[in-house]
């Protein structure tokens, strides 16, 4: 969930944060005066991971003291982060909020280690530029591997692949039935570093074709398919929306404007493979689908932990003593923003933000756009439907007739903004969105 704010840009937009660094690369500060602030670079990183989590982590109330937790006792950043995420438990399940069955990685939190890390690729995707083959696959049955979707204007599209094509050989390998070994092979061949892949497939007309698909850079269009169906006396619009990128505003407006022109009164939004993206794009779609009567009403509110919600009650000196006062808020170009009215009197930091749930910055309101007047909206969802997709559904459920088709979604009502610690960015849930 990327959140777009001084209003915090969130990932659900994307706020880019930076840490002020000293001669050794970084610092550690804490409102806990007992914290040791000397040590090796690795030890200070582990200290910072815990101390930032203590202030920012959404479920921070169960975290122990620095002395009890002993950040420096962990063998790696990852084992420490996993331990941090296991303290707070969901009362509905009795399990940690970030529990994943048979996994030693948390459900949401992670580290990113720079230009080659996961968020670098994610940012490129969500900004509408992709460099890959342009398709994905799934097993229909154990021996039946199918093309799940193909992005328009991608290398795969240029070679004639379409949704539903059956793959019969990959790089000459014909035994591609479902198994652990074959899944590893597929991940390497289709989603690894190879510049090209050889495919044999049967198209929807039953013709066998062999092609070589080569990676290239293309503009990603997450609207994979649209159509209008006549059902009895009503018209139903259908759109497959695969990602909340920030380059799709015009395409979204055009798609739904066409639905309105054609007299569509019900819409099916297919989000089965949509793992989320920019909140601003989700808000655009919500405002198109929502009833006009909701104009000005609360769409959703962003909630932070109790410590942050009470941050405005701290004095300036108390705010200066927090670790978040040493995280500058950077602009869209990654530059420090001058802010003489802030905590340090020079530039904006996380300590200058208003985290209260009553702040206008944390309340999104409906602003109806377009002329669609819907009786009902359907969402097709799966376990891969997450984040901004879930925000779209949840924001509309209280205000109109919403029907869900499919399976339980991923379950990610939380989002984050990055915390820069020396050479690593830490992503931990810092806020939750709640509908009206």
Q: Which residues neighbour 248 within 8 Å (Cβ) at sequence distance 6 or greater? A: 128, 221, 222, 223, 281
Averaged pLDDT for residues 361-382: 97
Q: Which residues neighbour 154 within 8 Å (Cβ) at sequence distance 6 or greater? A: 130, 132, 133, 134, 135, 218
Q: Which residues neighbour 333 within 8 Å (Cβ) at sequence distance 6 or greater? A: none
**What residue ranges in 391-435 does DSSP mark as E strands?**
402-406, 414-415, 419-421, 424-427, 431-435
Is pLDDT above 50 for 5?
no
Cβ 355 vs Cβ 311: under 8 Å? yes
Q: Write the DSSP symbol of residue 165.
A: P
- Report how far residue 111's alpha carbon sits from residue 49's, in angstroms, rounded to the nearest whole number: 10
Q: Confidence band (pLDDT; 50, 70, 90) for 247?
A: very high
Q: Residue 92 corresponds to which tokens in the numbers above?
A: 């509905």
- Report how far residue 199's alpha carbon sits from residue 178's, in angstroms, rounded to the nearest whole number: 17
CA distances from 10 to 125, 322, 386, 415, 435 (A): 16, 21, 15, 7, 17
Q: Which residues neighbour 192 within 8 Å (Cβ) at sequence distance 6 or greater? A: none
Is pLDDT above 70 for 117?
no
Averaged pLDDT for residues 26-44: 65
**Burial of 162 by CB count in 10 Å (0-12 exposed, 13-18 middle, 19+ buried)?**
middle
What structural domains does the chain harbor? Answer: 130-219 (2.30.42.10), 223-299+362-412 (3.90.226.10)
Averaged pLDDT for residues 370-393: 96
Q: Write the DSSP symbol of residue 114.
A: S
* pLDDT at residue 432, as a whole number: 94
pLDDT, averaged across the chain:
90
* pLDDT at residue 17, as a whole number: 36
Is pLDDT above 50 for 230?
yes
Q: Confidence band (pLDDT; 50, 70, 90) for 124?
A: low
CA distances from 266 to 228, 255, 263, 391 (A): 10, 14, 9, 20
Is pLDDT above 50 for 219?
yes
CA distances from 66 to 29, 38, 307 (A): 12, 15, 17
Averaged pLDDT for residues 118-127: 66
**Burial of 210 by CB count in 10 Å (0-12 exposed, 13-18 middle, 19+ buried)?**
exposed
- DSSP assignments along 298-347, one per residue: EEEEEE--HHHHTGGGS-HHHHHTSGGGGSBEE-TTSPBPB-TTSSSSSB
* pLDDT at residue 36, as a whole number: 57
* pLDDT at residue 412, as a whole number: 87
Q: Which of 200-204, 293-297, 329-333, 356-360 has the lowest mean pLDDT?
A: 329-333
Averaged pLDDT for residues 63-82: 97
* pLDDT at residue 2, as a whole number: 44
Is pLDDT above 80 for 184?
yes
Q: Which of 261-270, 370-379, 415-424 has the lowest mean pLDDT?
A: 415-424
- Upper half-sphere CA count for residue 279 (Cβ side, 13 Å): 31
**Burial of 406 by CB count in 10 Å (0-12 exposed, 13-18 middle, 19+ buried)?**
middle
Cβ 424 vs Cβ 113: under 8 Å? yes
Averaged pLDDT for residues 70-88: 97
Closest CA to 64 of 48, 51, 77: 51
* pLDDT at residue 27, as a whole number: 37
Q: Confidence band (pLDDT; 50, 70, 90) for 26?
A: very low
- Report how far residue 22's alpha carbon sits from residue 25's, in angstroms, rounded to the nearest whole number: 5
Is pLDDT above 50 for 317?
yes
- Report how far residue 147's alpha carbon sits from residue 163's, in angstroms, rounded to the nearest whole number: 5
pTM, two decimal places: 0.84
User: Looking only at Cα atoms, what is the longest distance across the chain?
Assistant: 74
Strand order in the sheet with 298-303: 363-365, 298-303, 431-435, 414-415
Q: Confidence band (pLDDT; 50, 70, 90) for 330?
A: confident
* pLDDT at residue 38, as a whole number: 82
* pLDDT at residue 423, as a whole number: 87
Averaged pLDDT for residues 294-308: 97
Is pLDDT above 90 for 122?
no
* pLDDT at residue 203, as a whole number: 98
Cβ 156 vs Cβ 213: under 8 Å? yes
Cα 17 from chain centroid (whole Å): 17
Q: Which of 80-89, 114-123, 169-178, 263-272 has the lowest mean pLDDT?
A: 114-123
Q: Who wins on pLDDT, 157 or 21?
A: 157
Closest CA to 215 of 120, 125, 131: 131
Q: Residue 229 corresponds to which tokens in the numbers above?
A: 């169906």
Is pLDDT above 70 for 173?
yes
* pLDDT at residue 28, as a whole number: 42
């Amino acid at each position: 969930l990327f959140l777009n704010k001084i209003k915090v840009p969130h990932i659900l937009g994307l706020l880019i944060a930076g840490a002020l660094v000293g001669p050794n690369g970084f610092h550690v500060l804490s409102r806990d005066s007992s914290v040791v602030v000397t040590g090796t670079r690795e030890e200070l990183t582990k200290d910072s991971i815990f101390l930032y989590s203590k202030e920012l982590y959404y479920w921070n109330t169960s975290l122990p003291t620095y002395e009890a937790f002993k950040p420096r006792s962990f063998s790696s950043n990852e084992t420490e982060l996993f331990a941090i995420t296991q303290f707070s438990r969901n009362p509905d399940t009795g399990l940690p909020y970030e529990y994943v069955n048979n996994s030693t990685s948390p459900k949401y939190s992670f580290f990113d280690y720079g230009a080659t890390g996961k968020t670098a690729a994610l940012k490129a995707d969500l900004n509408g530029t992709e460099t890959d083959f342009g398709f994905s696959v799934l097993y229909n049955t154990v021996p039946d591997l199918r093309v799940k979707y193909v992005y328009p204007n991608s290398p795969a599209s240029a070679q004639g692949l379409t949704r539903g094509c059956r793959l019969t050989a990959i790089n000459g390998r014909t035994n591609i039935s479902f198994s652990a070994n074959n899944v590893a092979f597929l991940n390497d061949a289709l989603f690894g570093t190879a510049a090209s892949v050889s495919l044999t497939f049967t198209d929807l007309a039953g013709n066998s074709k062999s092609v070589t698909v080569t990676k290239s850079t293309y503009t990603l269009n997450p609207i994979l398919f649209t159509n209008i169906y006549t059902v009895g006396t009503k018209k139903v619009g259908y759109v497959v929306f695969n990602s909340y990128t920030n380059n799709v505003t015009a395409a979204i407006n055009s798609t739904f404007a066409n639905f309105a022109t054609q007299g569509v009164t019900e819409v099916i939004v297919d989000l089965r493979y949509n793992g989320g993206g920019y909140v601003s794009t989700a808000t655009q779609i919500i405002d198109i689908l929502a009833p006009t009567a909701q104009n000005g009403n609360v769409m959703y509110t962003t909630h932070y932990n109790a410590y942050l919600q009470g941050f405005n009650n701290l004095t300036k000196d108390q705010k200066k003593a927090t670790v978040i006062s040493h995280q500058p808020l950077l602009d869209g170009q990654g530059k420090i923003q001058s802010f003489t009215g802030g905590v340090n009197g020079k530039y904006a930091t996380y300590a200058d933000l208003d985290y209260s749930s009553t702040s206008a910055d944390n309340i999104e309101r409906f602003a109806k756009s377009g002329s669609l007047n819907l009786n009902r909206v359907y969402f097709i969802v799966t376990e891969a439907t997450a984040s901004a997709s879930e925000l779209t559904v949840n924001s509309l459920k209280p205000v109109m007739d919403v029907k869900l088709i499919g399976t339980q979604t991923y379950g990610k009502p939380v989002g984050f903004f990055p915390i820069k610690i020396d050479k690593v960015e830490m992503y931990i849930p810092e806020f939750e969105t709640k509908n009206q």
